[in-house]
Amino acid sequence: MKICILGGTGFIGHYLTNYFSQQFHQVKALGRQAFAPDFDLTSTLNGQDLVIMLAGANVGERWSKQHKQALWDSRLNTNARLAQALSQCKQPPARIFSASAIGIYPQNSCTNLIDETCTEIGEGVLGQLGKAWEEASLKLLPKPLILRFGVVLGKNGGALAKMLPPFKMGLGGPVAGGQQCFSWIHLEDLARIMSFAIEHPELEGPINVTAPNPVSNAVFGASLAKALHRPFWLPLPEWQLKLMFGEGAQVLTHSSAIVPQRLLDAGFEFTYPQIDDALKACV
């Protein structure tokens, strides 16, 4: 199969490129240059079987005014450009998988799980950004598969790479009280979900790409400390988080208890359903 991954040079895209290449798919992975005005995106997409759209500026950084604008532009402008290029293809791709995030949902607690039947949108920036992002994805091709990623855990990158240094130094502890729920997915399962979706063309619309067992931030941190054989004791208060990340601190304080009900109903089996096993495999 011919697969084009846009936003293919980042943490997830890089892993998917290797994963699909090993399965003998023909993979083209492109970074932000794919959306430059002089890049011939239409020819690149013409004749592809599947497009995976992952492009987007990283939400896990300090939200300066400029970065906050980039969060929107890198999702909405790129999708508009992609829609235009797809509309000009003589042989358009049969399917598109488009990234989204569980930040689209309203906040909820670990005892009150949310699945894809929830149509409510979160009130904050993450909810509004998620809504606009998915609306843009719906204009790309008929019946897109929208992947609402939880926090993706893998080796050498993503959120875990940012969390590891203090934990490795033995300075891990609960963040902002630790009660907020943390919905996560192991990168290997994420790739397996993409393969599963390729084999199930009837899958369309939003699916939660999370493990079936979300945990509180405190349980997550204790599990990470245990995997590293380090103590878990030093709380990181919310005010300190805000000093570090500005408004972006909400990425770590947002409480999301999400389950991948549609995947479970479709028969997908997770290799890493539990956080302890997922983290042991990552560190």
Q: Which residues pair with 17 in a beta bridge?
A: none
Sole binder of ligand NDP in the list 125, 159, 249, 275 (CB under 6 A): 159
Separation CA 255–CA 143 (nearest Å): 29
Nearest alpha-carbon partner for 108 in 179, 156, 167, 48: 179
Applying CB under 6 A, the span of 40-48, 90-98, 112-120, 144-152 interacting with ligand NDP comes to: 144-152
Regarding 35 and contact with ligand NDP (CB under 6 A), the answer is yes
- Quick one: DSSP state of residue 163? H
Regarding 97 and contact with ligand NDP (CB under 6 A), the answer is no
**Cβ at position 102, least distance to ligand NDP in Å:** 7
Regarding 28 and contact with ligand NDP (CB under 6 A), the answer is no
Regarding 260 and contact with ligand NDP (CB under 6 A), the answer is no
In SS3 terms, 243-276 reads as HHHEHHHHHHHCCCCECCHHHHHCCCCCCCCCHH
Sole binder of ligand NDP in the list 3, 41, 52, 55 (CB under 6 A): 55
Regarding 31 and contact with ligand NDP (CB under 6 A), the answer is yes
Helix runs in 169-260, H state only: 187-199, 217-228, 238-245, 250-253
Applying CB under 6 A, the span of 6-14, 194-202, 210-218, 254-262 interacting with ligand NDP comes to: 6-14
Residue nearest to ligand NDP (CB): 10
**Cβ at position 246, least distance to ligand NDP in Å:** 18
Nearest alpha-carbon partner for 258 in 72, 120, 82: 120
Q: What torsion, rounded to 10 degrees, do the Cα atoms 161, 167, 173, 176 define?
A: -20
Q: Which residues pair with 6 in a beta bridge?
A: 30, 53
Which lies closer to ligand NDP via its Cβ, residue 151 or residue 228? 151
Question: Where on the chain is the footprint of ligand NDP (CB under 6 A)?
Answer: 7-13, 31-32, 35, 54-59, 70, 74, 78, 99, 101, 149, 151-152, 158-159
